[in-house]
Every structure is written in structure tokens, then in C-alpha cells.
């Protein structure tokens, strides 16, 4: 074959694969996404949240712990263990071999892991975050005298524990922190709303 012919053959092959691939994808029913597969096939026994369906536990006399897919027992198993139970079944747990594709089972296993560890990001630590404010508002949040002088502001303006500040709502304190005020820098993009709320909570606690 000449180079030209080789190229033509490769191009045709690629074209054929594209066309046939498209046709096959259209023919086959779209496989359910993991969340849909779980809701449709598993939640009746395991509950929407994977913690076990209470009604099912009662009716079928299931062991509630066995149905809980978010507990330590399930977390301690490997993906291969869980895949085996899903494909092969176990006691009253039905087998899904032939009903779910390998890919779907893998997706559902990942989904189950996600249920077990919901996105509980560590709660923002107001005291630690306040470190960002110390330079102007002082360690005790009563305002840094030198900064007040340098900024030519009333020292009371930097006091975050005075009546003036405490009279403000959390929303107002959050707004000032996020958007800034005169020489007070804006923290939008530097602190999340949750973090700002945590700092405000810390300040209120300091005031007590
Ligand atoms: C008819 C009720 C029922 C349905 C529907 C069901 N399960 Fe189960 N499943 C069970 C029972 C009962 C057990 C406990 C089996 C045992 O330990 O005896 C179980 C156990 C399991 C386990 C093992 C948990 C562990 O800690 O060992 C996994 C994983 C699991 N199921 C996943 C699924 C998935 C994924 C689906 C949906 C595709 C599903 N199940 C659908 C009843 C059900
Ligand atoms: C670079 C200095 C500086 C830093 C850092 C700073 N601030 Fe300020 N802040 C100011 C100044 C100046 C004011 C007074 C603004 C005015 O009233 O003109 C102020 C005012 C405030 C007020 C309003 C007080 C009131 O009584 O109305 C709040 C609330 C506040 N800051 C929160 C914070 C928090 C929370 C942080 C840390 C995340 C922070 N600030 C960091 C300079 C700063």
C-alpha cells in the first residue's frame, strides 16, 4: 500500500467506527446514572440516604444494621467486597448480575461511598480565622491603637467588641467583612460566607 492508500484506509476505518459507534449508542437504552440506579433499584430496601428503609426493616424483618450502607461495617469492606455482594447477592439481598452493567455497579459503589461520607467539610474555626483581623482589630478584638492612629480613624471604629459592633446583626457584620468599609479591606473571595459567619460567632462569644 502507498502512504496515500494507508491514510485513506485509516480514515475510512475511523469514519466507520464513528458511525457504527453512534448507531450503537442510539440503539442501546441509556444506562441509568449511579444516583438514579440507586434510587430506582436499591433505595426501597436501603433507603434514599443509604441508611436503610425503616418500613422495609419492619416488614421483611431485616437487620437494620445490615441495610445501613453508611455504617462502619460497610465502610470497612473493599470495593471488591461490595461489588461481589451487589452482583451475587447475599441472603435476602438480591443479586444484580445481568441487571446492572459492571460500569453501573462500580458507579453505585462510588455512590454508596459518597453517602457514607457526606461533604462534611471541617467546620470553619472562627478563632483561627480571626488571625486575619488581628493586625487591625487587635488580639483582643478591641482595636489596635497604632493602626487606628495610622488610619486616622477613631479607635472605637476598630473595636469589634463595643456596643456599636455588637448592635449590628450577623448579616451586617458579614456584609462589612465581605465588602469592606472605607479602610476596612473586603474579604470577598478570601473568606467564604461560612467562614465569615464563624468569625462573627467568635466575636460574639468574645464579647460575653
Ligand atoms: C429487597 C431488598 C434489597 C434491595 C432492593 C437491595 N438490597 Fe442490598 N442488601 C439487602 C439486605 C437484606 C442486605 C444484608 C445482607 C446480609 O448481610 O445478610 C443487603 C446488603 C447489601 C450490601 C452489603 C453491605 C455490607 O455492609 O456488607 C451492599 C453493598 C448492598 N446491599 C448494595 C445494594 C445495592 C447497590 C442495591 C441496588 C442495586 C441493593 N443493595 C438493593 C437488601 C436489599
Ligand atoms: C487592614 C486593617 C483591617 C483588617 C485586616 C480588618 N479590618 Fe475590619 N475594619 C478596619 C477599619 C479601618 C474599620 C473601620 C471602618 C470604618 O468604620 O470606616 C473596620 C471595621 C470593621 C467592622 C465594623 C465595626 C463596626 O462597629 O461597625 C467589622 C465588623 C470588621 N471590621 C470586621 C473585620 C473582620 C472580621 C476582619 C478579619 C476577617 C477584619 N475586620 C479585618 C480595618 C481592618
- Mean pLDDT over 74-101 rounds to 93
First to last CA, the chain: 88
Q: Is 200 in the pocket of ligand 2 (CB under 6 A)?
A: no
Which pLDDT band, with edges at 50, 70 and 90, does 42 fall under?
very high
pLDDT of residue 72: 87
Compute, in angstroms, the gap from residue 68 CA to the centroid of ligand 1.
9
Q: What is the CA radius of gyration of the chain?
A: 30
> What average pLDDT is seen over the chain?
85
Dump pLDDT digits (tens) for 129-182: 999 999 999 999 999 999 999 999 999 999 999 999 999 999 999 999 999 999
Do 143 and 159 form a contact (C-beta atoms < 8 A)?
A: yes
pLDDT of residue 62: 83
Pick from 191, 169, 164: nearest CA to 180: 191
How many angstroms separate the CA atoms of 6 and 72, rounded?
A: 58
Express as a percent the part of the chain with pLDDT over 90: 64
89: left (phi over 0), alpha (psi -120 to 50) or beta: left
Q: Give the other-Cβ count within 10 Å of 84's Cβ.
A: 14
- What is the grid cell recorded at 191? 473568606
Pocket of ligand 1 (CB under 6 A): 41-42, 44-46, 62, 66-67, 69, 73-74, 77, 82, 85-86, 90-94, 96, 108
Dump pLDDT digits (tens) for 92-130: 899 999 999 999 999 999 999 988 876 556 788 999 999
Cα 34 to Cα 38, 47, 68, 139: the distances in Å are 6, 15, 18, 50
Amino acid at each position: 500500500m502507498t502512504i496515500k492508500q494507508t491514510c485513506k484506509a485509516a480514515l475510512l476505518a475511523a469514519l466507520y467506527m464513528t458511525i457504527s459507534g453512534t448507531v450503537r449508542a442510539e440503539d442501546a437504552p441509556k444506562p441509568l446514572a449511579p444516583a438514579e440506579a440507586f434510587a430506582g433499584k436499591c433505595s426501597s430496601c436501603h433507603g434514599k440516604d443509604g441508611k436503610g428503609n425503616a418500613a422495609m426493616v419492619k416488614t421483611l424483618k431485616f437487620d437494620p444494621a445490615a441495610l445501613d450502607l453508611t455504617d462502619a461495617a460497610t465502610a470497612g469492606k473493599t470495593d471488591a467486597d461490595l461489588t461481589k455482594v451487589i452482583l451475587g447477592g447475599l441472603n435476602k439481598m438480591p443479586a444484580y448480575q445481568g441487571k446492572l452493567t459492571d460500569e453501573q455497579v462500580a458507579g453505585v459503589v462510588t455512590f454508596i461511598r459518597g453517602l457514607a461520607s457526606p461533604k462534611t467539610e471541617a467546620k470553619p474555626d472562627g478563632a483561627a480565622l480571626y488571625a486575619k483581623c488581628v493586625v487591625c482589630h487587635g488580639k483582643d478584638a478591641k482595636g489596635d491603637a497604632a493602626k487606628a492612629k495610622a488610619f486616622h480613624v477613631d479607635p472605637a471604629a476598630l473595636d469589634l467588641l463595643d456596643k456599636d459592633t455588637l448592635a449590628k446583626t450577623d448579616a451586617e457584620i458579614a456584609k462589612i467583612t465581605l465588602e469592606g468599609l472605607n479602610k476596612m479591606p473586603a474579604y470577598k473571595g478570601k473568606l467564604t460566607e461560612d467562614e465569615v459567619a464563624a468569625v462573627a460567632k467568635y466575636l460574639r462569644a468574645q464579647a460575653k
